[in-house]
Structure 1
Amino acid sequence: MKNNKFVRTVLGDIDPQTMGIVDCHDHLIKNGGPEMQEHIDFLMIDTLAASEELQSFLDAGGKTMVTMDPPNVGRDVPRMLEIAKKFAGKAHLIMTTGFHKAKFYDKYSSWLKTVEEDKIVAMMVAEIEEGMDVHSYNGPVIERVPHQAGIIKCGTSYGVIDPLELKELRIAAKTYHQTGVPILIHTQLGTMGYEVASILLSQGVDPHNIILSHLNKNPDKYYYEKILQLGVFIAFDGPDRVKYYPDSLLAENIKWLCDRGYQHQILLAMDAGRFYYQTAYSATKGTVSNGIAYLLTNFVPLLKQVGITQAMIDDMLINNPQVALSFDVTKRK
């Protein structure tokens, strides 16, 4: 596109204003990888179930979904392209390059450890500007498809930022300066958010292209305000996770932030990254669960119930993503 700002979907660049309602952090396909060492629920490779789940999100009013599966940690380019093409003209899907938390990489022999920084930057830039590796850098062969990643992910650990994670952040910042790509960070249980945002800001990343995820798992509204004062975005993901905290607590914390003027820095997402977090996947096993549409059918009405206005909700679901997810070519060095 000729505009300075655009959103890069897997099927091409679009005007940010055409995204509609956005789920800023979710999952449709996860093809194994190191997460499966934690739980088999992370294996999600049924394109039919994933398509049904995406359709339910569209039926509830959604339009765009950011799928946050990086190379080596669940990303499945062929299956995701199958879904994206099936929904061409109906839904926008954004795919991810980058990394996850250090736990998922061998600290002695992984490519994240052994390959020098600038060479990994080149790998990331290629995924964003040329096309994703169909093998998601599982090696040893690299074969690019003509479909690009539209966001870069980093991950940090619980209460610490590992040296490998610091390397990720440096690589993400360098990639940002070459491409203008937005950066989203997995913060383990909502910790180290302020620190990681500060690191990226110190490396010259625009705060409008920094998104912190999972802070809802650390329900400290004063901590949220401290982070938002840096000018970055927080993606509150994961309603319907009472094992952490009830939806009402998250809704009330969002209301508190909106009342203090931060409605333009909040994004919403479902982060339904396990088999039984999705209605269609669960149905294949004969079980019943809420799914991605819950964000719009259940959580948004709760936001209204606690006093958040429709204008504020529109900012969080429609207007703010247009800023946070946009490439800004004027920022390239």
Structure 2
Amino acid sequence: MVRTVLGDRRPDLLGRTDYHEHLRHVSPLLPGEELDDPDRSEQEAASLSGAGVDAIVDLTPIGLGRDPAFLRAVSERTGLGIVMATGVHREAHYPQDHPVRALDERRLQQRFVRDVRESAIADAEPLAEPVRAGILKVGIGYWSISAFEARVLDAAAAAHAATGVPVACHLELGSAAWEASDRLARAGVARDRQVLAHCDRNPDPGLHAELAAAGCYLGYDGVARPKHWPDSTVLDCLVEVAARGGADRLLLGGDVARRSSYVSYGGMPGLAYLPERFLPRLRERAPELETRIMCDNPARLLAFAPR
């Protein structure tokens, strides 16, 4: 099954899935870019649903504005399936006085497991209705894994062992992919239960094909960023990795986490850019890949048997 904010559902009923988005997000790394208006976030979610996406994975972890009750309400009102994350991001997102820094590995694990098995919490109070997480989110720095991040990765691995849900790892600019995957694997997270987010920020098809052959899922979520690379770079890399045997390990998402990128705030390009602008190019270039990447692969990754 796949665990969504409205309950568990069969993987084959998940539909076209955007594996990486943020409907609420607040971080000191992005001052002035807060996604903190629920009405605007709901408008953006509705635009994504209207563009043909059936489900998203909201990868906002603990302490960065995650709002479980809001995610549940948006899913109810828009019909968009939402898989919520638990976990903790890379260290730079948390000020020195942030409460999450005081949690040791055991308490982090307990928090993650509770979010999956029982319910997440908001403002330290139980929700009126349980909202459970269906994926673990962790992160590392640019070519670095700090002591804090290592503790989080190990806690997430322990929570994975206790629950079975997959682990998504943020790679800063796509760096240290093998290092992060190896760390998770040594801690007990099989490669085929890992998704390495931002792989396409380092558009190296040879590296990606090797990771896919080892079993890792590859998160491509860097479209609509021409100041770094054109969409053609992402598309070329994706198609090449598929040709090298990695088609069953590719995922697509938008990772739109700034208000200046939300149409509902007056920005661009919005959540609907992925289905409206990028997917038609994929469909034209390699039509056989769309269903695998948007439906089959995310359903396989997110499916788990409760432990």
TM-score interval, smaller chain = over 0.9
CA contact (8 A) 1:209 1:326 kept: no
Paired residues of 2:55 and 2:82 also in contact (CA < 8 A): yes
1:17-36 to 2 correspondences below 5 Å? 17-30=12-25, 32=26, 35-36=27-28
CA distance in 1, matches of 2:265, 2:98: 32
**3-state secondary structure, aligned to 2:121:** coil
Partner Cα distance (2:238, 2:224) in 1: 15
| Match 1:67 to one of 52, 58, 65 | 58
Q: Quote the Cα distance in structure 1 between the aligned partners of 2:103 and 2:88.
A: 14
Contact 2:206 2:241 in 1 (8 A): no
**2:107 alignment partner in structure 1:** 119
Contact kept? 2:209, 2:245, Cα under 8 Å = no
CA–CA separation in structure 2 for the residues paired with 1:96 and 1:160: 23
Identity %: 28
SS of match in other structure, 1:25: strand
Q: Take 1:7 and 1:207, find their aligned partners in 2: how far apart are those partners?
A: 19
Q: Partners of 2:176 and 2:262 in 1: how far apart?
A: 28
Aligned equivalents of 1:202 and 1:45: distance in 2? 37
Question: Which whole-Å deviations, capped at 9, do the CAs of 1:204-244 have from their partners, x for residues lacking one?
Answer: 21222211111211122222123222211011013111122
- 2:89 is matched with 100
Listed as ranges, the gaps of 5+ residues in structure 1 are 1-5, 136-140
Paired residue for 2:281?
302
Matched residue, 2:270: 291
Conserved? CA contact 1:237–1:269, under 8 Å = yes
Q: Which residue does the alignment assign to 1:164?
A: 148
Matched residues, number: 306
Per-residue CA deviation, residues 164-215 of structure 1 (Å, 9 max, x unaligned), is 1111110011000100011101111111111111111122212222111112
1:133 maps to 121
What CA distance in whole angstroms lies between the structure 2 residues aligned with 1:13 and 1:214? 27
- 1:143 and 2:115 matched: no
The separation in 1 between residues aligned to 2:103 and 2:263, in whole angstroms, is 40
Task: Output aligned runs, 1:37-116, within 5 Å.
Answer: 37-41=29-33, 43-87=34-78, 90-106=79-95, 110-116=98-104
CA distance in structure 2 between the partners assigned to 1:224 and 1:39 by the alignment: 33
Partner of 2:2: 7
Q: Quote the Cα distance in structure 2 between the aligned partners of 1:304 and 1:58.
A: 19
* SS of corresponding position for 1:260: helix
1:249 aligns with 2:240: no
CA deviations 1:249-290 (Å, max 9, x no partner) are 1100111111111100000001111112222222xxxx5x22
1:20, 1:64 within 8 Å by CA — same for their partners in 2? yes
Paired residues of 1:26 and 1:271 also in contact (CA < 8 A): yes
Deviation per residue, 1:111-148 (Å, 9 max, x gap): 4443331222111111111100112xxxxx44345111
Map of 1:318 onto structure 2: 295
Q: TM-score, normalised by structure 1?
A: 0.87
The DSSP-based 3-state class of the residue aligned with 2:122 is coil
**Alpha carbons 1:207, 1:232 under 8 Å: kept:** yes
Given that 1:194 and 1:226 are in contact with CA atoms closer than 8 Å, whether structure 2 keeps it comes out as no
**2:191 corresponding residue in structure 1:** 207
2:242 alignment partner AA: C
Matched-pair contact (CA < 8 Å) for 2:166–2:302: yes
Letter in 2 for 1:127: D
SS of alignment partner, residue 243 of structure 1: coil
Distance 1:47 1:142, change over 3 A: closer
1:173 alignment counterpart: 157
Partner of 1:3: none
TM-score (norm 2): 0.94
